[in-house]
Protein backbone atom coordinates (compact mmCIF):
# COMPACT_ATOMS: atom_id res chain seq x y z
CA UNK A 1 0.00 0.00 0.00
CA UNK A 2 1.67 3.20 -1.15
CA UNK A 3 0.04 6.54 -0.33
CA UNK A 4 1.18 9.97 -1.29
CA UNK A 5 -0.46 11.87 1.57
CA UNK A 6 -3.18 12.14 4.15
CA UNK A 7 -4.48 15.66 4.45
CA UNK A 8 -6.66 17.56 6.92
CA UNK A 9 -7.72 21.03 5.82
CA UNK A 10 -9.95 23.74 7.19
CA UNK A 11 -11.45 25.70 4.30
CA UNK A 12 -13.38 28.97 4.39
CA UNK A 13 -17.13 28.62 3.92
CA UNK A 14 -17.57 25.30 2.13
CA UNK A 15 -15.70 22.54 0.31
CA UNK A 16 -14.68 24.93 -2.49
CA UNK A 17 -13.21 27.54 -0.12
CA UNK A 18 -9.58 28.43 0.35
CA UNK A 19 -7.52 26.98 3.19
CA UNK A 20 -7.57 29.09 6.35
CA UNK A 21 -4.87 29.45 8.99
CA UNK A 22 -6.69 31.86 11.28
CA UNK A 23 -10.40 32.35 11.89
CA UNK A 24 -12.76 34.06 14.31
CA UNK A 25 -15.27 32.31 16.54
CA UNK A 26 -18.48 31.87 14.55
CA UNK A 27 -16.86 31.94 11.09
CA UNK A 28 -18.22 29.32 8.66
CA UNK A 29 -15.62 26.73 7.74
CA UNK A 30 -15.44 23.33 6.08
CA UNK A 31 -13.42 20.50 7.65
CA UNK A 32 -11.98 18.21 4.96
CA UNK A 33 -10.08 14.93 5.30
CA UNK A 34 -8.47 13.40 2.20
CA UNK A 35 -6.30 10.41 1.39
CA UNK A 36 -4.31 10.90 -1.79
CA UNK A 37 -3.53 7.39 -3.00
CA UNK A 38 -1.71 6.33 -6.13
CA UNK A 39 -4.80 4.27 -7.00
CA UNK A 40 -8.21 5.66 -6.03
CA UNK A 41 -10.26 2.54 -6.70
CA UNK A 42 -8.79 0.12 -4.14
CA UNK A 43 -9.57 1.63 -0.74
CA UNK A 44 -12.25 3.18 1.44
CA UNK A 45 -11.47 5.80 4.07
CA UNK A 46 -13.40 6.41 7.29
CA UNK A 47 -12.74 9.24 9.74
CA UNK A 48 -13.43 8.41 13.38
CA UNK A 49 -12.38 9.03 16.99
CA UNK A 50 -11.83 12.78 16.64
CA UNK A 51 -10.96 14.91 19.61
CA UNK A 52 -10.27 18.60 19.98
CA UNK A 53 -7.81 19.92 22.53
CA UNK A 54 -6.16 23.19 23.46
CA UNK A 55 -2.70 21.70 22.84
CA UNK A 56 -1.57 22.66 26.35
CA UNK A 57 -2.65 19.58 28.29
CA UNK A 58 -6.05 21.02 29.17
CA UNK A 59 -9.53 19.85 28.33
CA UNK A 60 -10.11 17.41 25.45
CA UNK A 61 -13.51 17.18 23.78
CA UNK A 62 -14.65 14.27 21.61
CA UNK A 63 -16.37 15.42 18.39
CA UNK A 64 -16.56 12.10 16.46
CA UNK A 65 -16.91 8.73 18.19
CA UNK A 66 -15.22 5.42 17.32
CA UNK A 67 -17.91 4.69 14.70
CA UNK A 68 -17.34 8.06 13.00
CA UNK A 69 -20.57 9.65 14.27
CA UNK A 70 -20.93 13.15 15.66
CA UNK A 71 -20.90 13.40 19.45
CA UNK A 72 -22.03 17.04 19.54
CA UNK A 73 -23.88 18.27 16.45
CA UNK A 74 -23.37 21.91 17.52
CA UNK A 75 -19.60 21.48 17.16
CA UNK A 76 -19.44 19.13 14.16
CA UNK A 77 -22.26 17.27 12.42
CA UNK A 78 -21.93 13.77 10.95
CA UNK A 79 -19.40 13.77 8.13
CA UNK A 80 -20.39 13.53 4.48
CA UNK A 81 -18.30 11.32 2.24
CA UNK A 82 -17.74 13.00 -1.13
CA UNK A 83 -15.96 9.97 -2.58
CA UNK A 84 -14.15 6.87 -1.32
CA UNK A 85 -11.19 8.82 0.05
CA UNK A 86 -12.68 12.22 0.97
CA UNK A 87 -14.87 13.24 3.90
CA UNK A 88 -15.94 16.62 5.21
CA UNK A 89 -18.51 18.78 6.92
CA UNK A 90 -19.42 22.44 7.38
CA UNK A 91 -19.03 23.89 10.84
CA UNK A 92 -18.63 27.13 12.72
CA UNK A 93 -15.38 28.04 14.41
CA UNK A 94 -15.38 27.43 18.15
CA UNK A 95 -12.71 27.56 20.85
CA UNK A 96 -12.00 26.91 24.49
CA UNK A 97 -12.31 29.92 26.78
CA UNK A 98 -9.00 31.75 27.22
CA UNK A 99 -7.17 29.54 24.70
CA UNK A 100 -5.89 30.92 21.39
CA UNK A 101 -5.86 27.68 19.36
CA UNK A 102 -7.53 24.30 18.84
CA UNK A 103 -5.94 21.04 17.79
CA UNK A 104 -7.93 18.33 16.00
CA UNK A 105 -6.78 14.73 16.37
CA UNK A 106 -8.63 12.13 14.27
CA UNK A 107 -8.13 8.53 13.27
CA UNK A 108 -8.35 7.67 9.58
CA UNK A 109 -9.15 4.06 8.81
CA UNK A 110 -8.43 2.53 5.41
CA UNK A 111 -10.04 -0.70 4.29
CA UNK A 112 -9.95 -2.58 1.03
CA UNK A 113 -12.92 -1.70 -1.16
CA UNK A 114 -15.51 -4.40 -1.85
CA UNK A 115 -15.86 -4.48 -5.64
CA UNK A 116 -19.56 -5.39 -5.43
CA UNK A 117 -20.66 -2.97 -2.70
CA UNK A 118 -18.00 -0.28 -2.97
CA UNK A 119 -17.53 1.60 0.29
CA UNK A 120 -21.16 1.44 1.45
CA UNK A 121 -20.44 -1.05 4.24
CA UNK A 122 -17.55 1.07 5.54
CA UNK A 123 -19.56 4.25 6.07
CA UNK A 124 -20.91 4.98 9.54
CA UNK A 125 -24.66 4.82 10.08
CA UNK A 126 -25.28 7.35 12.80
CA UNK A 127 -28.22 7.86 15.12
CA UNK A 128 -30.70 10.20 13.52
CA UNK A 129 -29.70 9.18 10.01
CA UNK A 130 -31.98 7.01 7.95
CA UNK A 131 -30.49 4.56 5.53
CA UNK A 132 -32.61 4.58 2.38
CA UNK A 133 -32.39 1.77 -0.12
CA UNK A 134 -33.32 2.50 -3.74
CA UNK A 135 -36.82 1.45 -4.71
CA UNK A 136 -37.92 0.06 -8.03
CA UNK A 137 -41.44 1.36 -7.48
CA UNK A 138 -42.50 4.59 -9.08
CA UNK A 139 -45.03 7.00 -7.69
CA UNK A 140 -47.26 9.46 -9.46
CA UNK A 141 -47.64 12.86 -7.91
CA UNK A 142 -51.05 14.47 -8.13
CA UNK A 143 -52.09 17.98 -7.23
CA UNK A 144 -55.48 18.59 -5.68
CA UNK A 145 -57.18 21.95 -5.87
CA UNK A 146 -58.32 22.68 -2.30
CA UNK A 147 -59.85 26.10 -2.94
CA UNK A 148 -62.84 24.72 -4.80
CA UNK A 149 -62.10 26.98 -7.78
CA UNK A 150 -61.52 25.57 -11.24
- Using the predicted structure, report yes or no on whether residue 138 has a pLDDT greater than 60: no
- pTM for the full predicted model: 0.79
Contacts of 14 by beta carbon, 8 Å cutoff, 6+ apart? 28, 30, 90
Mean pLDDT in residue range 38-49: 88
Helix extents (H) in 36-132: none
Could you tell me how far CA 36 lies from the centroid of its own chain?
Answer: 17
Q: What gap in Å lies between CA 112 and CA 45, rounded to an integer?
A: 9
Q: What gap in Å lies between CA 71 and CA 89, rounded to an integer?
A: 14
4-29 confidence digits (pLDDT tens): 588 999 999 999 999 999 899 999 99
CB atoms within 10 A of CB 97: 6
Higher pLDDT, 128 or 56: 56
Among the CATH numbers 3.40.50.720, 2.60.40.4100, 3.20.20.70, 2.40.480.10, which is that of 3-122?
A: 2.60.40.4100
Q: What is the pLDDT of residue 40?
A: 73
76-128 confidence digits (pLDDT tens): 999 999 999 999 999 999 988 888 888 999 999 999 898 888 898 888 999 76
Strand order from edge to edge, sheet including 86-92: 3-12, 28-37, 86-92, 80-83
pLDDT band at 135 (very low <50, low <70, confident <90, very high): very low
Amino acid sequence: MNFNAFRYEILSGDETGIQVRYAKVGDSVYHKWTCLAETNDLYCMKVHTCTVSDGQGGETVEVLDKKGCSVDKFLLMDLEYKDDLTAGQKSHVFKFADRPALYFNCQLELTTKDYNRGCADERPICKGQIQVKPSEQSYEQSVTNTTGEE
